[in-house]
Amino acid sequence: MIKGFLPVEITEPTLNVALADLLRRRELQALGEVVVHRKAKGIGKKPDVLLTVNGVKVIIEGKFATSGVESILEKQCIDRIEDGLCEICIGVIYSKMQFISLTLTMKEVEATLLKSKFQALVTYVAPAEFEQLSLDFIQSKLPPGLKKIGWYEVDINQLASLVRSSYTSVVSEDILGKAVESFASALQGAAEKLIASNPPDVLAAKISKIMEIPEAPRENEEPEE
């Protein structure tokens, strides 16, 4: 050790990238510190770890253990889901980590994570009519359509299992099917209102413009080469 060298604190983004790498080794598709661009409210959002499990989007938000961090993570997970960035969000609390080294590598960071325990909270999208799903829930004041599982202490292998079990809960209750059904119903209603409020030729012109379909040539008009 170099005399007088102060301990180095690892940042949350560094841990997020290392966590994503460890989850990939456990056969989960995970990327750390990515920027998600969306046309809606989620423009430029930066989830800590983004995963996909059979098409279902999962986000992990990681923060160091501080006073009130549980409430901060819970709100952040709700925001991620309401912004449409994911169907499942897991909040993870990291313990503070210090190293005394001038040549700290990601391998050393990952080795420390492998020996660590995390506090983890799962929040996910669920239709309000579901009173009870396949896991035990702590009742809390969540927005309609969201469910929360209680805090768990997990290691990296258990965290990977928690991701998979959360996905299984969502799929087993056909939550995604309900969401698709609800969207289809809303779309159908909007289409019916559009048809009722527009003459056929006006409606056709609007749809053609949206879909960028060129107008058909009029009678006795030669089409352009």
Is 139 exposed, middle or buried (CB count within 10 Å of its CB: 0-12, 13-18, 19+)?
exposed
> Which residue intervals of the chain are DSSP H helices?
12-24, 69-82, 106-114, 156-172, 175-196, 200-210
pLDDT 10s digits, 57-69: 999 999 999 899 9
Report which secondary-structure segment, H or E, holds 59: strand 56-64
pLDDT in tens, the chain (225 residues): 445 555 667 889 999 999 999 999 999 999 888 877 665 454 567 889 999 998 889 999 999 998 999 999 999 998 888 888 888 999 999 987 777 666 778 888 899 899 999 899 888 775 444 444 333 433 445 555 667 777 889 999 999 999 998 888 777 655 555 556 655 666 676 667 666 766 667 666 766 666 566 665 555 555 455
Q: Is the pTM of this model over 0.85?
A: no
pLDDT in tens, 69-83: 999 999 999 888 888
Parse the chain into domains and list their residue ranges: 8-173, 180-210
